[in-house]
């Protein structure tokens, strides 16, 4: 059983979706949880009692100062889950939108690096653990997904480099690589494609499930449990690795 009693965890993008599932699992293991998310998102969601909130836009010009202030107010940090990110629209190379490219890199890569930078002094003191949210697109490629794939390749490079840099302080850095996860966001994308004449929700899920060894899509809880494991003492000897969570995607 994983126990995180006495640990403090910061989860970026933790107000909803995968981030919230991870925050919930960490809290159930005994950690004190702080959720970092957009101010407008945190203003409209209800968080469980005892959770802390840090309303920040990780792409804002003054975010570094505000993040350092938030970490100082938190007081201690044992676990950083850098989950915040976006899935940009699929485009072929000749149709790339470079403003969209810059925006995706700002959140998916630059913000992750910034969180690592700002959290490192606290993590050195606690000999803490970091989990970065990558994707199967971090080690595979798919058509029409150059932007998302490139950002997730960058996250894997960051995880491996940070693991080498921070290992001397006893800080572990790993990454998760989920495959298709049955989230509200995935449902929304399937529904949008179906509305334009694409595959129906039921057929799309069946086709995605058939591509896995387990015959199902992974759930938010599957990803959250893996994040909790990598953040815990049970993974004390693991750093610089990327753990696929994709139900045996073929």
For residue 148, indicate whether it is catalytic: yes
- Which helix (H) or strand (E) covers residue 185, if one does? helix 184-195
Task: Identify the CA nearest to 129 among candidates 249, 241, 47, 244.
Answer: 241
Say how far apart CA 51 and CA 22 lie, in whole Å.
13
Tokens read off for 90: 């699929």
Backbone angles phi, psi at 42, to 5 degrees: -65, -25
- Residue of 18, 148, 158, 204 marked catalytic: 148
Residue 248: other Cβ atoms inside 10 A: 13
Report the sign of the C-alpha dihedral through residues 14, 20, 22, 23, in that order: positive
Looking at the annotation, which residues are catalytic? Answer: 148
């Amino acid at each position: 059983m994983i126990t995180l009693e006495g640990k403090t965890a910061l989860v970026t993008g933790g107000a909803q979706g995968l981030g919230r599932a991870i925050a919930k699992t960490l809290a159930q293991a005994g950690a004190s949880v702080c959720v970092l998310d957009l101010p407008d998102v945190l203003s409209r969601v209800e968080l469980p009692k005892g959770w802390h909130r840090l309303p920040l836009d990780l792409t804002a010009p003054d975010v570094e100062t505000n993040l350092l202030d938030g970490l100082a107010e938190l007081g201690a940090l044992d676990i950083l889950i850098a989950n915040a990110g976006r899935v940009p629209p699929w485009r072929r190379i000749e149709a790339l939108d470079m403003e969209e490219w810059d925006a995706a890199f700002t959140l998916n890569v630059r913000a992750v690096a910034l969180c690592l930078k700002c959290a490192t002094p606290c993590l050195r003191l606690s000999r803490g653990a970091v989990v970065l949210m990558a994707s199967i697109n971090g080690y595979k490629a798919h058509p029409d997904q150059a932007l998302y794939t490139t950002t997730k390749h960058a996250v894997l490079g960051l995880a491996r480099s940070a693991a080498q840099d921070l290992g001397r302080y006893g800080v572990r850095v790993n990454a998760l690589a989920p495959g298709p996860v049955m989230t509200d966001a995935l449902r929304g994308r399937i529904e949008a494609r179906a509305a334009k004449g694409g595959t129906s929700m039921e057929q799309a899920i069946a086709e995605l499930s058939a591509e896995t060894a387990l015959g199902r899509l992974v759930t938010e809880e599957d990803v959250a449990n893996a994040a909790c494991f990598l953040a815990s003492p049970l993974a004390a000897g693991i750093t610089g690795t990327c753990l696929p969570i994709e139900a045996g995607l073929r």
